[in-house]
Amino acid sequence: MTNTTQQMAEAEAEPEKILIGAVGGEALMEGIMMRGPKGAAVALRLPDGSIETEIKQTKLPSERFKPLGWPLLRGPVSFIYSMVFGYKCMMEAAEKTTLGELEAGEGEELSKLDRWIEEHLGDKLMAIVGVLGTVLGVALALGLFVYAPKLLFDLIDKNAPGDLTRFAPLIQGGVRVLLFVGYMFVMSLIKDIRRVFQYHGAEHKSIFCYESGLPLTVENVRSQSRLHPRCGTSFLFLMILLSILLSSAVVMLFPVLESDKSFQMRLIWTAVKLVQFPVIMSLGYEFIRFAGRHLTNPLVRIISCPGLLMQRITTKEPSDDIIEVGIEALKAALGKPYQAKIPAKQEEEDEAEPTP
């Protein structure tokens, strides 16, 4: 046996080193994006039933400038980077799956409006839809989670027998939590969003399977939990809770921030909230990282509980075909052998020959 052959045999015999916390992902439209040691992998279930997997070579901000990877700095940086990169992957997935559906219906007669859109907009359509979606999303978020809680508190404070100014952040924060939970629940009732949530569940199950040291098979992934403490949903929910606690503490110490309704004080209070935001992101990010490595810690389990409960809404049990997409994305992100293109499964003809 040559040295090279012997080394390969020894490498295959060695147990795989599991990198806890090194893998994360995001559910897409008919697909999953996984980030791992070998980069970011996007696996999509195309309209023809095939699975397409692609590795995207990305460079994290901390790899370009090391201080951005330091504790308390990496939280905001990672959050912004993940939002931007995740948005690009989401739009690409939507474009591929939507384009495939349109191509599948090429034989159908197009309406005048469809022909005009195809001729004048073409590839720009998805970009336009993306921009409009972002604008509407920001407007909805501001209206629902910023102005609505404040208006509701002003109404309660006006009709309350005592002064509730000191409790403004607590009450407004409670309203935001209820609105957030209610909003996500309503979204989960929409058919297309529910399917995205199934891919979200497959992402978590695949990661759990890998971190448990089990082979990445549909059977092994199916048996895993769909609730993961390192989830972005848990991070967002934790950020909301931290913002409530921090804002309440500030107002308790400086009640003038809420009681003084002057324009100058509004500006100061807004500036204070803006300063709080990166602090909240840093604390939330560090806790999520810590929680991912200490799942059995009693304190971690208690603090993670609200986020895990929220995941009962934002994740759904995936079907086997969805699990297959999660497995391919994870394999590619880990540097394991994967297929760039898996053809659609041919349906077996079960019709028996007629008996004479």
Q: What confidence tens digit (pLDDT) does each residue in 85-128 have?
A: 988 898 889 888 875 554 544 444 545 555 555 555 555 655 66
Supply 237's token pair: 């929910």
**Does residue 222 lie within any of the structural domains?**
yes
Task: Give the mean model confidence (pLDDT) for residues 8-21.
Answer: 58
Task: Give the mean model confidence (pLDDT) for residues 164-169.
Answer: 86
**Does residue 354 lie within any of the structural domains?**
no
Q: What integer pLDDT is reported at residue 112 of this predicted model?
A: 58
Q: What integer pLDDT is reported at residue 215 of this predicted model?
A: 94
Which of 28-37, 65-74, 236-245 holds the top average pLDDT?
28-37
Q: What integer pLDDT is reported at residue 160 of this predicted model?
A: 84
CA dihedral 248, 76, 182, 140 (to 10 degrees): 100
**Does residue 321 lie within any of the structural domains?**
yes
pTM here is 0.81
User: Would you tell me the crossing angle of helices 74-104 and 124-142 to the nearest 10 degrees?
Assistant: 130
**Does residue 309 lie within any of the structural domains?**
yes
Interval 236-251: pLDDT, tens: 888 888 888 898 999 8
Q: Is 324 exposed, middle or buried, given 0-12, 13-18 or 19+ CB atoms closer than 10 A?
A: buried
Task: Give the mean model confidence (pLDDT) for residues 145-157.
Answer: 85
**Does residue 204 lie within any of the structural domains?**
yes
The rounded percent of the chain whose pLDDT value lies above 70 is 82
pLDDT > 50? residue 19: yes
CA 162-267-283 angle, to 5 degrees, is 85
Instruction: Give the count of domains, the chain.
Output: 1
Residue type, 15: P
Task: Give the mean model confidence (pLDDT) for residues 154-176.
Answer: 87
Supply 285's token pair: 């990010």
**Does residue 201 lie within any of the structural domains?**
yes
pLDDT > 50? residue 7: no
**Does residue 143 lie within any of the structural domains?**
yes
Domain that holds residue 53: 23-101+121-342
**Rounded-to-integer distance, Cα 204 and Cα 233, Å:** 12
**Does residue 113 lie within any of the structural domains?**
no
